[in-house]
Amino acid sequence: MVDILFEESGSQSVHHYCIATEHHRYDFSIIFTNNFFGKAMVVSIQSGTMVLMCNEDIENDCYWAEKLGIHPIDVDECRIFLQMILNQKLFVNQY
């Protein structure tokens, strides 16, 4: 038996990005919502992993880079990309 503990639907803003550094290609889906305490859900299509991120998390690349499958040589470029995207604050109203 499965108990549903929580279900909520709402409007989300989903953006898909394909970026290329000099060394590798990355495909991300970034979901902006008012859930998750104001953090965006960053999903790596290649690794199949997800990280909740906000601007404050970007400087802590130990938190997100490995989880998203970012090669060490590309961390700085991906940090710049994430700063640009997360600074746009594309969150939507939950209600």
> pLDDT tens, 5-47?
777 776 678 999 999 999 999 999 999 887 888 899 999 999 9
- What's the CA gap between 78 and 83, in Å, rounded? 8
φ/ψ of residue 10, rounded to 5: -170, -175
The helix or strand, by DSSP H or E, that contains position 44, with its residue range, turns out to be: strand 40-44
Looking at residue 90, its pLDDT comes to 57
pTM for the whole thing?
Answer: 0.82
Contacts of 7 (CB under 8 A, 6+ apart): none
Rounded CA-CA distance 94/35 in Å is 8
